[in-house]
Every structure is written in C-alpha cells, then in structure tokens.
Homo-oligomer: A and B are copies of this chain.
Amino acid sequence: MSLRIDQVTVLDPAPQGPRIREDVSVVVDEGRVREIGQARPEADRVIEGGGDLLVPGLVNAHGHAAMTVLRGYADDLPLQPWLERAIWPVEAHLTGDHVHAGARLAAAEMIEAGITAFADMYLFAEDVARAAEEAGLACLAGASIVDQPTAEGRPEEVLANTKTLLRERPPGEGRVRASLAPHAVYSTSAETLETVAELADEHGASIQIHVAETMQEVYEAEAEHGLRPLAHLDEHGCLTERSILAHCGWMTRAEAERVADAGASVAHCPTANQKLATGGTTPVPELLAAGATVAVGTDGPASNNRIDVLQEAKRAALTHKHHRWDAEQLPAGQALAMATRAGAHALGFTDAGRVQQGAWADLALLDTDRPHLRPMHDPVSQAVYAARGGDVRTTIADGEVVYHEGEHERLDVGTVVADAEQAATDLVTEAEG
C-alpha cells in the first residue's frame, strides 16, 4: 500500500546539521521513502500534513520495554536498593507471557511517541521480539545474560535461548533482530564475555551492555580485574563496532576516545541516570568530539518513567549545557540527530533514522497545530525544545500508518493495556504474596 504525505516540513538530521525542506510531499511505498518534493503521484492513502513537521521515526537505543508492568512500582530509591529490594524480587517471578504483555504495552507507548525502533535487553527476549513484530516496530532484542539463574532459567539455558534467537532472527536481516546482551561486567564473568564475543563475531551480532553506570561498578572492576569496565570489555572481545554501551556515566576522556576508536556506540540515558542518582555525567561532548556515535535511550519505564525519545533528547541537551555551563553544547540539531540518525546507526538499522529517498519509511509526523508549537521561527528548535512524544500525530513504521490522530491502526490497544495490567497484577501479587 502506497502513502503520500502532503505539505510537510521535513527535518532530516544530516551529520553537518539538519536539512530542512518546507512544503514538500513525501511518497512512501513498500516500506521505503520513494520521493520527496513537489510531485504528488497517486497513492492509496493521502495524509494532509498542513505544515506539520516530519522527522525520522525516533530510535530508543537502550531500554527494557517489558518493565512497563513495573512503572511506578518503586521510585525515589538509589539504584542498588531499588534493584535489590523492589525490582529483582518481582522479576524473579517473570514469565514469557508477562514480558510479552509488558513489551506490547511499551510498543503502544512508543508508537504514540513516534518511536519506530528500539534496542532491548531483558529476560525472555523472544517475547519482546514477538511484541515488536506484532507492533510493526524495528527491534534489536537480546536476552539479558548474567552468571546467576534468573526467571528465564540457568545461565546455560539463557545462552541456549540466545543461540536460538540468533538463528531465528539473524542479525543484519529484517526489522526484528537478535542481539547479544551481557548485562554488565559485574554480573558476567570474563569467560561469559568471551562466549558472547565469539557468538557476536560468528553471527555479526550487536552487543548491548550496561557500562560504567555507577562509580561502584568502576571501582569494583578496577579492584577485581585491574581494569576499568571498558578496558575489561575490550580485553574480552566485547568492545566492537557493533557494541552499544548503555549509560557510560563514569567514563574518562581517554575512554571516550577508545569508544570512538572501536567504532562503538553509546546509549546515553540522562533521565534514568538522574532519577536513580547514579552520579557522574556521560562525557557526551568528548564522545562526539572523538567521533563516537552517541544515541539516547530511555532505559526501562520503571526508572524514567516514560518512553519518550524526543524528551530524552531535550534532557540530554539540557544536561550537558548545564554540566559545562555552556549553552552552546548539544544544540537542537545535534540532539535531534542523536534521537534519530545516531540511534539507527547504533542499532545497525542503517537505512533508518533519515528522511531520504530510499530510506526506511519509519517516520513521525509532529502536529504543529497546537498553541505550544506556535509560532514557527525554527522548526528544529521546535521539534527538540518545544515538542514531545505526545505531539506525534502520525507514526509510520515500515511504510505502514500504525498510529494516526490518537488512534492505533495496528495494535488493539484496549487489549494491549488490559493484558499488561493483568500481568502487572499477577506478577506483583505473586511477588508480594
């Protein structure tokens, strides 16, 4: 089914700054952008843009989608007590069905916020992958690998599940792809990391991992391995051009350069870091100066508590301006690129994150017809500093309109919400009972 969107302002986040094209039509067919310009060829469906802003579908570079079921379950606690006292005891009771229900709720939320691709690491990754597929979203799904038994099984069972996922959803193909996802250096042994590295190499797969999220993690790695987490990962083959390093709040300038040299990507998660008070500030200016890819991630909905990549981009901009006492850090165009093009690059969805002829037709249309987005002096500023996920009028994933003017066109959102609520109730009852 072909689609034409008329009279939009296209914001394409090119590396040298956003390219703005006003009052154009965008033609979509077979999941790709076919044409951008004045031509208005016939199409099966036409959406009147009315001057709205068309941006690439947003990319969430780090998260745990299924944790929607624990949104608001525990807040205002530091990371370790939050994990140990609140989150882990509940997660011990997780099933694949809970994860599927939670991830579908997250998918609905993401779609409403114009997010069309997400990286995910969690238990029961196949259930996350299935939820993404049902929703039409692109997804890099990895089973969270730790050296302890989890609700998903013993470590060898999780590894077997990972291998199955790698076979069934091969990296580099399709919209829903398997990934490796070792949890962190403090929760996986060197041997596990090497197994991960071999599998990643064999399958051409991405490696998602939490890195230098807390000061404690860095100190413990230095004490135990004589190396900071990044060097330890490198030593065991996990720092590759397909690595997605989440957080990196406690990272030195030299490490930033090492990330860039390796061609790895960082998923910057300012909201979750600040809410959990992990301290540190990801050296985003140094990473960018060194040429590293820096994307943004919302982390899980229990530590944010919302999945809104556009807002995360704004928070990233504010965080680094504030941290450096320098208002010129992370200007709006750069923040927009982090939320789109850089995210797509990090996840390996190289045809996404752009509004260009031939690119994936993963797009978000921002409704500019509201008081808070008027007047329109600067569309890029408007998209980053004034708009939010909630301003998305239309979300297009793989060329399909999945959401338009408040209505889902693919997901049965009533069922999605009801199933997730039931999963949340069952899970908490079981954990607390």
Seen from chain A, the residues whose Cβ lies within 8 Å of a Cβ on chain B are 68-73, 75-79, 82, 105-106, 108-109, 112-113, 271, 273-279, 301, 304-308, 315, 317-319, 321-322, 324-329, 331-332, 370-372, 374-378, 381-382, 385-386, 388, 390-391, 413, 416-417, 420-421, 424-425, 428
Asked, given contacts A75-B332, A425-B375, whether A275 binds B385 with beta carbons under 8 Å apart, the answer is: yes
Nearest 8 interchain pairs by C-beta: A390-B390, A274-B322, A72-B381, A277-B327, A274-B318, A108-B371, A76-B331, A305-B385
A424, B373: Cα distance in complex, Å = 13
What residues of B have a CB within 8 angstroms of the CB of A428 in the complex?
377
B73 touches A378 (CB 8 A): yes
Closest chain B residue, CB of each to CB of A113:
B372
Interface contact A375-B112, CB-CB below 8 Å: no
CB distance B327 to A78 under 8 Å? yes
Contact A72 B277 (CB under 8 A): no
Known: A327-B82, A386-B71. A109 touches B372 (CB 8 A): yes
Give the distance in Å from the alpha carbon of A353 to the alpha carbon of B305 in the complex. 25
Are B371 and A416 within 8 A (Cβ)?
A: yes
State how many angstroms separate the Cβ of A247 from the closest Cβ of chain B. 13
Give Cα A334 to B112, complex, Å. 29
Interchain CB contact under 8 A, B75 and A109: no
The answer to whether residues A307 and B372 also contact, given A331-B76, A381-B75 and a CB cut-off of 8 A, is yes
Distance (whole angstroms) from the CB of A326 to the closest CB of chain B: 5
Checking B108, B112, B275, B325 against A277 with a beta-carbon cut-off of 8 angstroms, the contacting residue is B325
Q: Is the pair B374, A273 in contact by a Cβ cutoff of 8 Å? A: no
Given contacts A271-B318, A304-B385, contact A72 B377 (CB under 8 A): yes
* A373 nearest CB neighbor, chain B only: B71
- Shortest distance from the beta carbon of A97 to any chain B beta carbon, whole Å: 15
Quick one: given A327-B82, A390-B390, A425-B375, are A332 and B76 in contact (CB under 8 Å)? yes
Whole-angstrom CA separation of A327 from B302 in the bound complex = 14
CB pair B381–A305 under 8 Å, yes or no, is: yes
In the complex, what residues of B have CB within 8 A of residue A307's CB?
372
Bound-complex Cα distance A327 to B71 (A):
16
Which of A71, A301, A376 lies at the interface centre, i.e. has the most chain B CB atoms within 10 A of its CB? Answer: A71
Query: Is the beta-carbon distance between B377 and A73 smaller than 8 angstroms?
Result: yes
Could you say which residues of chain B place their CB within 8 Å of the CB of A391? 390
Nearest CB of chain B from residue A53's CB, rounded to whole Å: 12
Q: Is the CB of A388 within 8 A of B390?
A: yes
- A70 CB contacts on chain B under 8 angstroms: 377
Q: Which of A319, A372, A382, A388 has the most CB of B within 10 A?
A: A372
Residues of B within 8 A of A304 (CB): 385
CB distance from A100 to the nearest CB of B (A): 15
Residues of B within 8 A of A416 (CB): 371
Taking A305-B386, A381-B75 as contacts, is the C-beta distance between A329 and B374 under 8 angstroms? no
What 16 additional pairs, Cβ within 8 angstroms, besides A275-B317, A306-B388? A70-B377, A78-B328, A105-B374, A106-B371, A112-B370, A277-B327, A279-B325, A305-B382, A305-B386, A308-B372, A371-B416, A371-B417, A374-B417, A377-B424, A388-B390, A390-B391
Of chain B, the residue at the smallest CB distance from A331 is B76
Neighbour of A421 across the interface among B78, B113, B332, B375, CB < 8 A: B375
Chain B residue at minimal CB-CB distance from A374: B417
Chain B residues with CB under 8 A of A386? 71-72, 301, 305-306
